[in-house]
Each structure stands twice: as C-alpha cells, then as structure tokens.
C-alpha cells in the first residue's frame, strides 16, 4: 500500500538546542533505516518550511501508523496521510 504523507514539524521555541539536535539525529537514523528497508520510498523537503512530503510503501494502515508514531519528532508534528491507489492511466 502506498501513502503520500505530509509532515510539518513544530518544535517548541523554548526547547534547548542540544535536545533538539539529539531528537533530529535520532529521527534521521530512524528514517534512513526505513528508507534502506524500502518502506520509506522517498522524501522531499517543502521549500521554506520545516516540512516534508514522503512516500511510504507498507503492508497496512496499521504498519504506517506504527512507523509514524515511532518517529522521534512525532510529538511535534502535524501529519496528513493520503492513501494512494493505482491510476487507470498509469502505464507501469
């Protein structure tokens, strides 16, 4: 199952920079592992925002929920999930 996911990150202004740096480093390792596994199929930055669009390819809604809720930045995110279906005009 494929999903397009928009993630907007909203770190608290009063979060110490060291804490933010640790969370971001952990997030990077977590996301890159999922990319190597093929579950996080792509990631694109939204220009001028602390946000991204990501493509996930997982087996179920529950698996996606587990992945997203496991993100270290999850408590500081607004997330929009769009399930994708094959388009009848797609030649692939």
For position 92, what pLDDT does the model report?
83
Structural domain includes residue 41: yes
For position 61, what pLDDT does the model report?
97
pTM assigned to the model: 0.92
State the total domains in the chain.
1
Residues 37-46: tens digit of each pLDDT:
999 999 999 9
Structural domain includes residue 90: no
Q: What is the domain range of residue 48?
A: 2-84
Rounded to whole angstroms, the Cα distance separating 54 from 45 reads 9
Q: Which structure tokens are listed for 67?
A: 């992945």
Rounded to whole angstroms, the Cα distance separating 66 from 63 reads 5
- The CATH number linked to 68 is 3.30.70.1060
For residue 64, how many other CB atoms are within 10 A of its CB?
Answer: 20
State how far the alpha carbon of 6 is from the alpha carbons of 23, 33, 88, 91, in Å: 19, 19, 24, 26
Residues 25-78: tens digit of each pLDDT:
999 999 999 999 999 999 999 999 999 999 999 999 999 999 999 999 999 999
Residues 68, 82 contacting (CB under 8 angstroms): no
């Amino acid at each position: 199952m494929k999903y397009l996911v928009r993630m907007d990150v909203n770190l608290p202004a009063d979060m110490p920079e060291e804490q933010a740096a640790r969370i971001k480093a952990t997030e990077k390792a977590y996301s890159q592992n999922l990319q190597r596994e093929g579950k996080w199929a792509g990631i694109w930055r939204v220009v001028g925002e602390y946000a991204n669009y990501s493509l996930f390819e997982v087996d179920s809604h529950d698996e996606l929920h587990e992945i997203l809720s496991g993100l270290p930045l999850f408590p500081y995110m607004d997330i929009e999930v769009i399930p994708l279906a094959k388009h009848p005009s797609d030649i692939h």
